[in-house]
Amino acid sequence: MNPIYPVVWSNNKVLLIDQTCLPNQYTLVEISRYEDMAKAIKTMIVRGAPAIGVAAAYGMYLGAREIPSQDREIFLKQLEKVAEILRQTRPTAVNLFWAISRMLKIAYETIGTVEDIKNILLQTAQLIQKEDLQTCQAIGNNGLKILPANPEKLTILTHCNAGALATAGYGTALGVIRSAWTAGRLKRVYADETRPRLQGAKLTAWECVQEQIPVTVISDNMAAHCMKQGRIDLVVVGADRIAANGDAANKIGTYGLAVISKMHQVPFYVAAPLSTVDFELETGEQITIEERDPSEIYQVGNTRICADGVDYYNPAFDVTPAALITGIITEQKTVKPKELITLK
Ligand code: MRU
């Protein structure tokens, strides 16, 4: 099976796998303008914290390329505007803001012409992408070290998609699962379908099928029952932003999963790169939670499922308190949430 790369730089354009079409259609979308990249992030053609970071980094380069001025000051001022449009796309995943800041910093630090800055920006976007791939592979290796010795072949449950599609490739939570599979330690993956956008059913399950990893999709409300039946040995999820105290924001439903994992004494791990840790936030209370369109709730496919006159609340993420997290698997090592600060 060919590796899955959700963001590819090719012939002076970015190619994105359109994640809104999977698993029924594998479609590539060409992006040559930064405003189209902003739209692709907003509409979730590309999604998942690290993948959003990589996409935004290329978006910064595309935006830089569109600035005609050769005057450094004017160029940097317009680049700030590009950064602001990209920042407005999604509020929770910190990798977006992290990647944009890194791109801006390198632009300010580069001595030379505007063309020199543009070249460095492209190289930096490519570097961010390369580093994320290596980081995910390191997370996968570190994840192997925390797998319980018994049973020999584990059943691991995951929520949402924290796989190759959500990163530069390989994945964080699904990276751990991939590594476990390669090492012969995995029996099966349970993938929560992940209402309302169904990233588990549509994306995680698709990734597993590509690699012939046995996968069982369950609806989100079945996880507690499966744990009670002893079907789940371990839970691994990704994260969109982790506060300094180890509280972790991830796809809505993750918090509930952590609560039921505690109840059933199932180890609950978060796998994430250090670029997902926001050391400026003391606790998860300070994380902005994105609210998305109510149609994600009242519509299934093209069919409306609720009566007119119903109200909706559609938070896209929740925050799992550090106390419910067994460990955070990073590219450096796995730490207890309260030790996260030592990796700053
Ligand atoms: O709304 P999404 O699909 O962007 O949310 C994605 C998640 O919550 C992932 O679990 C998280 O970004 C980790 S990705 C490695």
- Whether 240 is catalytic: yes
Tokens found for residue 263: 């109840």
Buried b (16+ CB within 10 A) or exposed e, 262-301: eebebbbbbbbbbbbbbeebeebeebebbebeeeebbeee
CA of 108 to the centre of ligand 1 (A): 30
Terminus-to-terminus CA distance in the chain, angstroms?
37
For the chain, give the mean pLDDT: 98
Q: What's 143-343's CATH class?
A: alpha beta
**From 220, 236, 240, mutation site for ligand 1 pocket: most ligand atoms within 8 A of C-beta:** 240
Which atom in ligand 1 lies closest to the alpha carbon of residue 174? Answer: 15
Q: What residues are in contact with ligand 1 under a 6 Å CB criterion?
A: 47-50, 93, 160, 162, 166-167, 172, 199, 238-240, 250-251, 316
Select which of 18, 192, 233, 240 is catalytic.
240
Burial 168-199 (b: 16+ CB within 10 A, else e): bbbbbbbbbbbbbbeeebbebbbbbbbbbbbb
Within 10 angstroms of residue 305's Cβ, the number of other Cβ atoms is 10
The minimum-distance atom of ligand 1 relative to the CA of 90 is 4
What is the reported pLDDT for 2? 80
Phi, psi of 10 (to 5 degrees): -150, 130
Number of C-beta neighbours around residue 144 at 10 A: 14
- How far is 122 from 107, CA to CA, in rounded Å? 11
The whole-number average pLDDT for the span 72-92 is 98
Question: What's the 236 CA to ligand 1 centre distance in angstroms?
Answer: 13
CA of 102 to the centre of ligand 1 (A): 21
Which pLDDT belongs to residue 171?
98
pLDDT in tens, 177-221: 999 999 999 999 999 999 999 999 999 999 999 999 999 999 999
Helix then strand then coil, in percent of the chain rounded to 5, is 45, 20, 35
Q: What is residue 218's DSSP assignment?
A: E
Same fold, 7-136 and 143-343: no
pLDDT of residue 295: 96
Q: Could you give the CA distance from residue 305 to residue 218 in angstroms, rounded to a whole number?
A: 20
**Closest approach atom of ligand 1 to CA 49:** 12
- Residues paired with 327 in a beta bridge: 269
Rounded distance from Cα 36 to ligand 1 centre (Å): 21
How many other CB atoms are found less than 10 A from the CB of residue 76?
A: 17
State the pLDDT at residue 134: 98
CATH no. of 7-136: 1.20.120.420
Best residue among 139, 161, 270 to mutate for probing ligand 1's pocket (most ligand atoms within 8 Å of CB) is: 161
270-321 pLDDT, tens digit each = 999 999 999 999 999 999 999 999 999 999 989 999 999 999 999 999 999 9
List phi, psi (to 5°) of 22: -70, 150
**pLDDT tens, residue by residue, 159-183:** 999 999 999 999 999 999 999 999 9
Which one-letter amino acid corresponds to residue 322?
Answer: A
Neighbouring-strand partners of residue 335: 328
Distance 71 CA to ligand 1 centre (A): 39
**Which band of pLDDT confidence, cut at 50, 70 and 90, is reported for residue 243?**
very high
Residue nearest ligand 1's atom 6 by CA:
48
Distance 241 CA to ligand 1 centre (A): 10
Beta pairing, strands 13-17 & 28-31: antiparallel
Residue bearing the CA closest to ligand 1, atom 5? 48
What are the structure tokens assigned to 233, written together?
């040995």
| Per-residue pLDDT band at 240 (split at 50, 70, 90) | very high
Element (H, E) at 14: strand 13-17
pLDDT value of position 102 = 98
Q: Is 140 in contact with 178 (CB distance < 8 Å)?
A: yes
- pLDDT tens for 2-50 read 899 999 999 999 999 999 999 999 999 999 999 999 999 999 999 999 9
Give the residue, out of 251, 255, 257, 270, with the most ligand 1 atoms within 8 A of its beta carbon, to mutate for a pocket test.
Answer: 251
150 CB-contact burial (10 Å; exposed 0-12 / middle 13-18 / buried 19+): exposed
Q: So what's the pLDDT on residue 173?
A: 98
- Three-state SS annotation for 280-336: CCCCHHHCCCCECCCHHHHEECCEECCCCCCCCCCECEEEECHHHCCEEECCCCEEC
Mutation probe of ligand 1 site: the residue of 98, 165, 199 with most atoms within 8 A of C-beta? 199
Q: Residue 330's closest CA among 103, 142, 113?
A: 142
Locate the domains of the chain by residue range: 7-136, 143-343
Report the candidate in 77, 94, 54, 197 with the shortest Cα–Cα distance to residue 40. Answer: 54
- State in Å: Cα 106 to ligand 1 middle: 27
Minimum CA distance residue for ligand 1 atom 8: 251
